[in-house]
Chains A and B, each alone.
Chain A
Amino acid sequence: SQQGEEDPQALSIQEGENATMNCSYKTSINNLQWYRQNSGRGLVHLILIRSNEREKHSGRLRVTLDTSKKSSSLLITASRAADTASYFCATLEAGSYQLTFGKGTKLSVIP
């Protein structure tokens, strides 16, 4: 079953623009993580935000978490063609051992 739902399902932007992806989830969580997947390859961990954190940065990535709205957003600034990939949010539900993934946002960055 899906816990996280990403929005939009697909996003196309020009190189240099910012990309924002959103994730909504349903239950209480310990943390929320974002992963990137290049076509047909394995997922790569990008960033983790804990339930008691509101914002986190890593390079060109900024993640926010609003536990009252059960939502998170991933912002990629100054996007590059190499950022073209699918992005997944994953939640570690309270009391659970494994991550539950959403269906992802497919990002296309046009050079």
Chain B
Amino acid sequence: DSGVTQTPKHLITATGQRVTLRCSPRSGDLSVYWYQQSLDQGLQFLIQYYNGEERAKGNILERFSAQQFPDLHSELNLSSLELGDSALYFCASSAQGQGGYGYTFGSGTRLTVV
């Protein structure tokens, strides 16, 4: 157990639907990062939050949004889902606001859009 908890582990949903992925960072970590992993694109950075504030944005679609709550857990909302959104979604956390000491990853949420 890495200390980063992601739920659910698996999600199957239909095109056009909306889902919410949840992440609890390792205790004491203030930063949360979301990544999407697909076979053709590899690991793509989506968005980072640090202590409740958005810090950096990557290749995140407008249909996707995220937030970090006061208790530091984070949610990634994916809406108007398309077949191409099927992927593994990882959350990672770090103590500081950047990857200076490495990330701790959760086990991921496997999203299948049918």
Chain A interface (Cβ within 8 Å of chain B)? Answer: 1-2, 30-31, 33, 35, 40-45, 48, 88, 90, 92, 96-104
Contacts and interface: CB of A to CB of B under 8 A. Distances in A.
B33 A102 contact: no
B43 A101 contact: yes
A43 B101 contact: no
A98 B107 contact: no
A33 B92 CA distance: 14
Interface of B: 2, 4, 33, 35, 42-43, 45, 48, 50, 55-56, 58-59, 88, 90, 92, 97-108, 110
Contacts of A99: 33, 45, 99, 103
17 contacts: A1-B59, A33-B99, A40-B88, A40-B110, A42-B90, A42-B105, A43-B43, A48-B101, A92-B99, A97-B56, A98-B99, A99-B33, A99-B103, A101-B35, A101-B45, A102-B42, A103-B42
A98 B98 contact: yes
B74 to A, nearest CB: 14
B105 A44 contact: yes
A98 B56 contact: yes
Contacts of B59: 1
